[in-house]
Amino acid sequence: MPYRPRRSLFFKARPKAVEPQKTTRKRKRQGLLPFVWKSFKMLCLSIGFMIVVSGITGALFSNLVLKEGRVGIPQESVLLYELVDAPLEHPNEAGPYAFEDPVTIRQLTTALEDAKTDPRINGLVLSMRGGRVNLAHIQELRAAVKDFRTSGKFAYIYATSYGEMGSGLGQYYLASAFDKIFMQPIGSVNVSGLFIEIPYARALLDKVGIEPQIEARKEYKSVFSSVTDTEITKPVKEMMTALLKDINDKMLADIAEDRSFLPDYLQRVVDQGLFTDQQAVEKQLVDELIYKDDLSDRVKQNVAGEDGDVDDVRFVQIDHYIAEMTHQRRERALAAIKHQQDKPSVALIYAVGAIVESADMSPSGLSSADDVAGMIQAATEDEDIEAIVLRISSPGGSPVASETIRRAIIDAKEEGKIVIVSMGEMAASGGYWIAANADYIYALPGTLTGSIGVAGGKFSLGNMWSKVGVNWASIGFSENADLWSFNQPFSAEGRARFENVIDMIYDAFIARVAEGRGMSVDDAEQVARGRVWSGYQALDVGLVDELGGLNDALDYAGNRLGGEDRHDIRVVMLPSVKTPFERVLQMLEGQVRAGQGLHVLGQYISADDQRQAQALLESLQQSGKINIHQSPLYLR
């Protein structure tokens, strides 16, 4: 489904480019620098050309294989997930250099759900080879693994070590959801518990002459506390202690239940923390020490049975299984449409990353008000869309950008759309701002949410410049013209005006939370004050409606639309996944922007060297990909 990107009312076309005047002046004898510059230019062009050709070739080859050479799933298969890179929320997060679609958390959980009832899949093996998986994704993946196990099929996990070079409690938390935990000999297990360290650099800034001019609302809002304070404050320590304890207690309770440990026994194990391979087996943290090839042979033999042929057993990579099942699901959807059996449509919209105003500031198209609000508006105007599920994984960002997205949600509700929020790793500050007015909010137990507050300001560098012998001259034409100068602190009036803006934003935030959650302003204030909550805590204080992941939110949408769960709806994902060819074009755009940067950099070098850089930019201009006189960057 296409969506309409938002466009500023103040947009106006850029002036036409002025052709540079040619000169016939005889050039002076060139030195070594122009030769080096020319060689470097040719090297960059050659490397860029090879990258582009490789990307296009890979894209075409991938499409050819998918269309003409699809390989089915053998009857005696074992699903294999090699966890090297952490799963993403949306494939577009991977950026322009990912010519293959990366695996997302929704694809993983859907694949395990499909495999649960797929007679061709006999079991699951997860090989952990690195990749930092955030706690929310671990909890969604654990739930999917445990659901898979209800089919009676085995689920094994294997790693060379669990947390060899640091705390592996998160890795072990994921591992505890499996039937058996295997580890390579000479590996180690580190379950030394949750631990954080917060640096406080105010004393250092004072020494070098940098003064933070930061305002925060209120006492729990700690986003800038590392530079404004010399040590942790009592409210921040209270918040962080409660947050960490809640997450720690939940993880240990789940591990104890899944591994049949007594809570006191597990706490003693965690207190000891680090274990050798043999100690891990003795403590029942690991079921068996085994090499990967031996585990592979054993799994094949178990699947084949005494009378079967182990050569018939195949390990199917999860990305291949995802592609195969996606193809089958698409065919079934097309068949249903032909027979007029189409299901209600639900738009799944992603808001991932720091929230910004402009699409130019969010290359992935997942976190700007232009993109997210535009997709919500498109879903609102689409008569086939009956509900919107907004997946949020954001630490916050611009208040005005957040308000733009929130307004789009209000419009959607007024048009009769059901709006449901699913929170991922975090939906804090601006991330909660856009969630507050949803009809129903899901959070995972480990989701970091709330942080209903605001902070901002500047750094005054005046003392630092005096220490290093730099003197700035300034000219202004109003009393507060220097308000955002980094060379001097706020004046008394300037600070007062900035505080008014901070107070306005905080009060507006409270009012929107109270409206969206059906609270009084006083009750909203009590759970706000800049405090970050875990999913469990947020449920207790009324900031979310239920604990669950994205599949739970989709199930709720299906139920609200008259079905049983998510299988009774058609999910339309926005933004759409960029094709390999679109990623190539995005990469080219990045190279063009690098060329624009060279145009600015060229102003620092000599006239002869500038002509060398100008030749490079003109060659790009002739290709039609760039106009060197329309650079958004200026030197002043």
Give the three-state DSSP class for 558: helix
CA distance 302 to 69: 30
Per-domain boundaries in the chain: 36-66+580-622, 70-192+273-322, 343-450+536-574
What does pTM read for this prediction?
A: 0.82
CA dihedral of residues 310, 311, 314, 315 (deg, nearest 10) = 70
Which mean pLDDT values do the consecutive 10-residue runs of the chain (636 residues) have? 49 46 48 59 59 53 46 89 92 66 91 97 93 91 98 97 81 96 96 92 96 95 95 97 96 97 97 96 98 97 90 94 90 68 91 92 85 96 97 96 98 98 97 98 97 96 93 91 93 95 97 98 97 97 98 98 95 78 50 47 48 52 41 28
Cis peptide preceding 218, ω within 30 of 0: yes
Equal fold, 70-192+273-322 vs 343-450+536-574: yes
Instruction: Give the position of tokens 């005696």.
Output: 76
Q: Which element (helix H / strand E) includes 442?
A: strand 440-443
Q: Are 3 and 377 in contact (CB under 8 A)?
A: yes
Q: Side chain identity at 20, as an amino acid letter?
A: P
CA distance 47 to 163: 38
Other beta carbons within 10 Å of 284: 13
Q: Which element (helix H / strand E) includes 336?
A: helix 318-338
CA distance 138 to 447: 11
Other beta carbons within 10 Å of 609: 17
Residue 613: phi and psi, rounded to 5, are -65, -35
Task: Provide the strand spans (E) within 51-207.
Answer: 77-83, 121-128, 154-159, 180-183, 189-190
CA angle 246, 529, 460 (to 5 degrees): 115
The reported pLDDT for the residue numbered 28 is: 46
CA distances from 340 to 1, 152, 332, 333, 493 (A): 19, 36, 12, 10, 67
Domain 70-192+273-322: which CATH number of 2.40.420.20, 3.20.20.220, 3.90.226.10, 1.10.357.10: 3.90.226.10
Q: Which CATH superfamily is domain 343-450+536-574 in?
A: 2-enoyl-CoA Hydratase; Chain A, domain 1 (3.90.226.10)
The reported pLDDT for the residue numbered 578 is: 60
CA distance 524 to 510: 6
